[in-house]
């Protein structure tokens, strides 16, 4: 048996390299082998910090008996969902036709052409309670393929056709102020009045939704709903969902009262919750999250790993959460960090650290954001210079960057430009964004070659969708004065999903937040000074504004020369603050006492 996983980039795939299963990595070779043998494919999708992925690996994929069944009757493919999110999304959408209990590990059975005819998530090796055993599932799927193949193919074709129809969207008008307020109130109606947060168990941080509720428009038009975001953050920060020693938030709580967390800690959650904490004025929680990012997730070179595992070794045994429940962690080996540097996820961290560092005057945080940006800009590139999805130890993945990757990374670079006053970051961001707006991001080539439709990236779950990410980067570019075409681009992205977003606002927080920002005229503060520690700069840091740029005259001139009109004409004098509303500025002032805290 050939070991095809040992030299892959993914830590998740490497962890399965010694399984007795004859795994293929995601690629055309697996499809070719399935067609040659005329057998179904078993596509197993997970990620390295997933607890139940570990469990299924120990129980089933490490079993020579079960591996023998898989190798005899299937072509087996291992996929890291974090490296190949388009593949995960496509098969997750197909799996929804067979089960409502979606999650990871995702186990999908397809035709040799990659079309799904059965799917599920975790199965124990033997039947347990209401769950069939994995051995029985393998036998039943094999029997269906051998005896009822035409029905299986018809089922796969029907699923593919239904997904293609679901992908068709009809653009609508931009949401109105009233519609956005109603959406916020619908979200707030799900608030848990006793324990905070939204819904029951399991309970997630839903950072994308919290960000929507914090928009200035909603603070004014739906204040009670907007306040639920701060209540939710306060409840989470005081609960078991947050690790008080290292500061980071866990993935979710299995109980309504935020107890019994699922102990993996994700870069995506923590980067976005850092933004939420800064906007809420909860500096203590913000500082705790930053400590986790810098001390735990930061990798050599300055970028950030994807997540920290839920499991660790304690006294020779794998323990889920035991490291965090221990009375003392001294001498314990911490859970491993998945060191994959994912482009878009690092974009979220770069943006959050840049904004937090600027607001709290923590230059080391901004420096950390700049180091991450430099690393990703260099390492996460294909030989032809295009962004890729991820890298590991400085080696770039062959997986293409997604729309969300490029949009989130571009927005992170725009935030870094504002925090540092260095126009080079804004120029790099604009170049990436222009490439996207000109149609320069391709989907997964293996899915395309097999004619397996990628799932529409339409919802904001644990992070912004591709649509919302591009809209957010376009909004950031417009606010800096890059031109009206960027506002038009943001509006176009929002219109594409507005109708479905208003119908299900809880699943579209990022997109609706951008819709709210497009209604509210932006407040833009430009402080021209040679003294970043001076009174004028200090007074501006925590103002209620969408852009707070503290720049030297030379930096203001560089932005203006690069086509960012917000800075035009602001390089002639020092110690002046320009308070602008949608690019119309008040008379500049040198008096910090004249700066208005509120909008």
Whether the pLDDT of residue 126 is over 90: the answer is yes
H and E: helices and strands count for the chain = 24, 19
The candidate with the shortest Cα–Cα distance to 267, out of 298, 243, 246, 239, is 298
How many angstroms separate the CA atoms of 140 and 532, rounded?
A: 68
Mean pLDDT within 376-390: 96
Q: Is 319 left (phi over 0), alpha (psi -120 to 50) or beta?
A: beta
The residue behind tokens 């001076």 is 534
- In this structure, are strands 106-110 and 41-46 parallel, antiparallel, or unpaired? antiparallel
Reading the block at residue 292, the tokens are 């986790």
**Which has more confidence, 557 or 448?**
557
Cβ 218 vs Cβ 516: under 8 Å: yes
Confidence band (pLDDT; 50, 70, 90) for 161?
Answer: confident
What 3-state DSSP class applies to 459?
coil
Mean pLDDT within 17-40: 97
Percent of the chain whose predicted confidence (pLDDT) is above 70:
100
Give the Cβ contact number of residue 340 at 10 Å. 28
Count of residues making up the chain: 599
Burial of 23 (0-12, 13-18, 19+ CB in 10 A): buried
How many angstroms separate the CA atoms of 266 and 274, rounded?
A: 12
How many angstroms separate the CA atoms of 266 and 462, rounded?
A: 10
Reading the block at residue 206, the tokens are 């839903």
Confidence band (pLDDT; 50, 70, 90) for 538?
Answer: very high
How many angstroms separate the CA atoms of 67 and 323, rounded?
A: 32
Confidence band (pLDDT; 50, 70, 90) for 164?
Answer: confident
Cα three-residue angle 498-501-507, rounded to 5 degrees:
150
Mean pLDDT within 509-514: 98
pLDDT at 439: 86
Burial of 541 (0-12, 13-18, 19+ CB in 10 A): middle
Reading the block at residue 84, the tokens are 């190949």
Mean pLDDT within 550-578: 96
Mean pLDDT within 219-241: 97
DSSP single-letter state for residue 590: S
- In this structure, are strands 523-528 and 547-551 parallel, antiparallel, or unpaired? parallel
pLDDT at 129: 82
Give the Cβ contact number of residue 161 at 10 Å. 11
The candidate with the shortest Cα–Cα distance to 114, out of 42, 209, 23, is 42
Cβ 512 vs Cβ 175: under 8 Å: yes
Reading the block at residue 230, the tokens are 């701060």
Cβ 183 vs Cβ 505: under 8 Å: yes
Report the interhelical angle of 466-479 vs 509-519 (nearest 10°).
Answer: 30
Q: Name 109's bridge partners.
A: 42, 118
How many angstroms separate the CA atoms of 186 and 192, rounded?
A: 13
Whether the pLDDT of residue 213 is over 80: the answer is yes
Whether the pLDDT of residue 163 is over 90: the answer is no
How many angstroms separate the CA atoms of 226 and 207, rounded?
A: 13
Cβ 232 vs Cβ 250: under 8 Å: no
Mean pLDDT within 529-538: 94
Give the tens place of pLDDT for each residue, 258-281: 999 999 999 999 999 999 999 999
Q: How would you write 250-264 as a 3-class SS string?
A: CCEECCCCCCCEECC
Whether the pLDDT of residue 171 is over 90: the answer is no
How many angstroms separate the CA atoms of 429 and 407, rounded?
A: 9
Confidence band (pLDDT; 50, 70, 90) for 326?
Answer: confident
Cis ω before 202 (30° cut-off from 0): yes
How many angstroms separate the CA atoms of 291 and 270, rounded?
A: 11
Query: Please, what is the average pLDDT of the chain?
Result: 95
Give the Cβ contact number of residue 317 at 10 Å. 9
Sheet containing 307-308: order of strands = 265-266, 307-308, 337-338
Cβ 236 vs Cβ 249: under 8 Å: yes
The structure's pTM equals 0.94
Report the interhelical angle of 85-95 vs 149-166 (nearest 10°).
Answer: 110
Q: Is the dihedral of CA 494, 497, 500, 501 positive or negative?
A: negative
The residue behind tokens 């149609």 is 439
- In this structure, are strands 317-320 and 311-314 parallel, antiparallel, or unpaired? antiparallel
pLDDT at 160: 87
Mean pLDDT within 100-121: 94
DSSP single-letter state for residue 242: B
Cα three-residue angle 116-39-138, rounded to 5 degrees:
70
DSSP single-letter state for residue 523: E
Cβ 104 vs Cβ 81: under 8 Å: yes
pLDDT at 457: 64
How many angstroms separate the CA atoms of 254 and 260, rounded?
A: 6
How many angstroms separate the CA atoms of 228 and 194, rounded?
A: 12
Q: Name 558's bridge partners.
A: none
Give the Cβ contact number of residue 148 at 10 Å. 13
Mean pLDDT within 482-505: 96
The candidate with the shortest Cα–Cα distance to 459, out of 420, 491, 429, 501, is 501
Distances (CA, A) of 162 to 100, 150, 167, 443, 498: 16, 18, 9, 20, 22
Cα three-residue angle 255-458-163, rounded to 5 degrees:
100
How many angstroms separate the CA atoms of 425 and 413, rounded?
A: 5
Q: Write out the H or E segment, with its range, that includes residue 218.
A: helix 216-221
Mean pLDDT within 184-199: 96
Percent of the chain whose predicted confidence (pLDDT) is above 90:
87
Q: How would you write 298-353 as a 3-class SS string?
A: ECCCCCECCEECCEEEECCEEEECHHHHCCCCCCCCCCCEECCEEHHHHHHHHHHH
């Amino acid at each position: 048996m050939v070991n095809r996983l040992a030299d892959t980039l993914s830590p998740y795939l490497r962890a399965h390299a010694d399984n007795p299963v004859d795994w293929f990595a995601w690629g055309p070779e697996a499809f070719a082998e399935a067609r040659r043998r005329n057998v179904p494919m078993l596509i197993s999708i997970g990620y390295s910090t997933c607890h139940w992925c570990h469990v299924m690996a120990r129980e089933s994929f490490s079993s020579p008996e079960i591996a023998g069944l898989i190798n005899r009757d299937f072509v087996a493919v291992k996929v890291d969902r974090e490296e190949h999110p388009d593949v995960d999304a496509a098969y997750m959408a197909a799996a929804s036709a067979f089960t409502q209990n979606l999650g990871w590990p995702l186990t999908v059975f397809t035709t040799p052409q990659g079309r799904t005819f059965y799917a599920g998530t975790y199965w124990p090796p033997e039947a347990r309670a209401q769950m069939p055993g994995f051995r029985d599932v393998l036998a039943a799927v094999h029997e269906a393929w051998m005896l009822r193949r035409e029905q299986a193919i018809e089922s796969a074709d029907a699923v593919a056709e239904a997904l293609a129809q679901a992908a068709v969207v009809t653009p609508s008008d931009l949401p109105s102020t009233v519609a956005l307020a109603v959406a916020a109130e619908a979200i707030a109606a799900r608030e848990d009045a006793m324990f905070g947060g939204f819904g029951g168990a399991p309970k997630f941080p839903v950072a994308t939704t919290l960000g929507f509720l914090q928009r200035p428009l909603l603070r004014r038009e739906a204040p009670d709903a907007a306040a639920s975001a701060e209540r939710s953050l306060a409840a989470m920060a005081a609960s078991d969902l947050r690790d008080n020693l290292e500061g980071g938030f866990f993935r979710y709580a299995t109980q309504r009262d935020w107890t019994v967390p699922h102990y993996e800690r994700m870069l995506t959650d923590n980067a976005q919750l850092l933004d939420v904490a800064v906007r809420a004025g909860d500096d203590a929680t913000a500082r705790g999250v930053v400590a986790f990012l810098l001390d735990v997730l930061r990798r050599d070179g300055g970028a950030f790993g994807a997540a920290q595992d839920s499991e660790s070794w304690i006294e020779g045994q794998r323990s889920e959460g035991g490291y965090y429940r221990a009375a003392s962690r001294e001498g314990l080996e911490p859970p491993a960090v998945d060191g994959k540097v994912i482009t878009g996820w690092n974009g979220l961290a770069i943006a959050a650290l840049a904004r937090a560092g600027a607001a709290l005057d923590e230059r080391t945080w901004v420096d950390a954001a700049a180091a991450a940006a430099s690393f990703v800009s260099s390492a996460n590139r294909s030989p032809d210079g295009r962004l890729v999805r991820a890298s590991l130890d400085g080696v770039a993945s062959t997986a293409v960057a997604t729309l969300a990757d490029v949009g989130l990374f571009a927005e992170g670079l725009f935030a870094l430009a504002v925090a540092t006053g260095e126009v080079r970051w804004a120029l790099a961001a604009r170049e990436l964004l222009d490439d996207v707006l000109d149609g320069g991001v391709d989907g997964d080539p293996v899915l395309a070659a097999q004619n397996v439709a990628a799932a529409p990236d339409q919802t904001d779950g644990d992070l912004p969708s591709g649509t919302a990410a591009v809209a957010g980067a376009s909004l950031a570019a417009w606010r800096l004065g890059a031109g009206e075409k960027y506002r038009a681009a943001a509006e176009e992205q929002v219109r594409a999903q507005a109708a479905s977003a208003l119908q299900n606002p809880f699943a579209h927080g990022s997109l609706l937040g951008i819709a709210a920002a497009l209604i509210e005229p932006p407040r833009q503060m430009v402080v021209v000074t040679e003294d970043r520690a001076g009174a004028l700069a200090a007074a501006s840091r925590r103002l209620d504004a969408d852009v707070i740029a503290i720049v030297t005259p030379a930096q203001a001139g560089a932005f203006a020369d690069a086509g960012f009109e917000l800075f035009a004409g602001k390089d002639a004098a020092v110690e002046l603050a320009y308070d602008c509303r949608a690019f119309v500025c008040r008379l500049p002032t040198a008096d910090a006492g004249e700066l208005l805290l509120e909008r």
